Structure 1
Amino acid sequence: MEKSEVILLNVGGYIYNTTRATLVKYPNSTLGLMMKEDTLFSKDQDGNFFIDRDGQMFRYILNFCRSGKLCLPQQFSDYDLLENEAKFYEIEPLVTSIKSSRKQAMKKYQGFNYIEVVEEKSYYFLHSTYVRTVTSLYGRTDDLKALPPDFVNFPENLLTDLGSNYSKLTINKCDVRLQIGEFLSERGWVKEHSDLQVSSSIEDTGYSNKKYKELTYRDVWKMYKKND
């Protein structure tokens, strides 16, 4: 097929026009493999390739394939969501760029400390319902260490990979996000932003359909005090 061929993609209900050459720029990525083995992927009622992922985040994925550069708007905050999407598409240079951009963005926070709380709930429906919850925290290491030990354990699960003063912490407990929010609020932290992302899919197991549903809650908290 011609690399200049125009391809229409339906990503979570958002329609994108691009070329085959753009989609195969990273041939070992999910998009590259989709163009090689297009019979393995679903199509919508109009014949467009259908990908059941976040349609809004895909604009950054596609632009990176076009230019090789990560271009984000000012005050962009959905780094965890975008990184998750980049990992799904298996574009390693993009994953690296997102991590670098997150570090730079966190350095720009002046005059206040910052904690991002992300809770991911995965529901699996087959013969019964199984729920898995993972909560991730991003912020200054000293602020994360100030959280009650009932919520977190240190230092085994503390990853200082976001810069010298910042860390990422993963907690495998249910409903920790709300408890952390209450704790921060009582100590003067202000919730600046909160949102919810929902995605779902169905897998044909051969004898029944296995349904998946993912809910991602994101809270951004600020404390107005001087950073180092």
Structure 2
Amino acid sequence: MKMSGSDIIKLNVGGKVHTTTKSTLCKFPNSMLGAMFNGSMSPSLDENGCYFIDRDGELFKFILNFLRSSKLSLPESFKELDQLALEADFYQITPLIECIELLKQPSPEKQVRVRYLEVIEVRTGNLATMPTMNSRIKTIISGRRDVIHKFLSLHQIHPAERERLQLNSGKDYTEIALTGSNVRLQVGECLRNQGWSLSESQMSTFPSGEAIVHNYKDRWMLTVYKEDSLEESQCNSVDDELIDEISLLSSGDE
């Protein structure tokens, strides 16, 4: 009897019964299943009249779902990819074979990218350790322009520096004057809340005439993990280069 594409078919695959349609099994005419049900081959029947295939019945559900949706969907804990590849090869379903080969390729390694910002505060005065009316405070942040722009609020940047920050190209390293009382602590709190960690903090003191100069230098570090995909390596190779070190202001600059 000739079957139509909507005919219901029961398959006994390795002792497990699956129910589907002829059109699903013949989705890829050049496959073994396509040949079985388009008249090119004569499939065997079991005692219950089901078409019998002597293969893995549990894995066949993934084969059947691929025929239905053209997508390979596997559970996260799936550990039988090699066996599934053998099943796909047996059924000669080329698109499924290609999907499995892609999954078998090593996962892209995570690349570590490190960003640095350095905040330098210079206090000059008779009581330079405290922000009093008798002390002058200058605070500078140094690092990559796009990183500064992304993680700092504009109100923390000195008005005279904002235009220069906008004009510099994205990956230039720059030194920007900051504004505000105790801005070094404000910037530290801002960076900490965004995932940065304080990797180094130094203080130095030296006399300058009748005044005392205190230099405070905080180096902040952010570690970013990104997948090294082909698309990224082609499109973002410059943007995603590893930064091993940044040339920063010397602690004696004013």
Q: Normalised by the size of structure 1, how large is the TM-score?
A: 0.45
Greater C-alpha Rg: 2
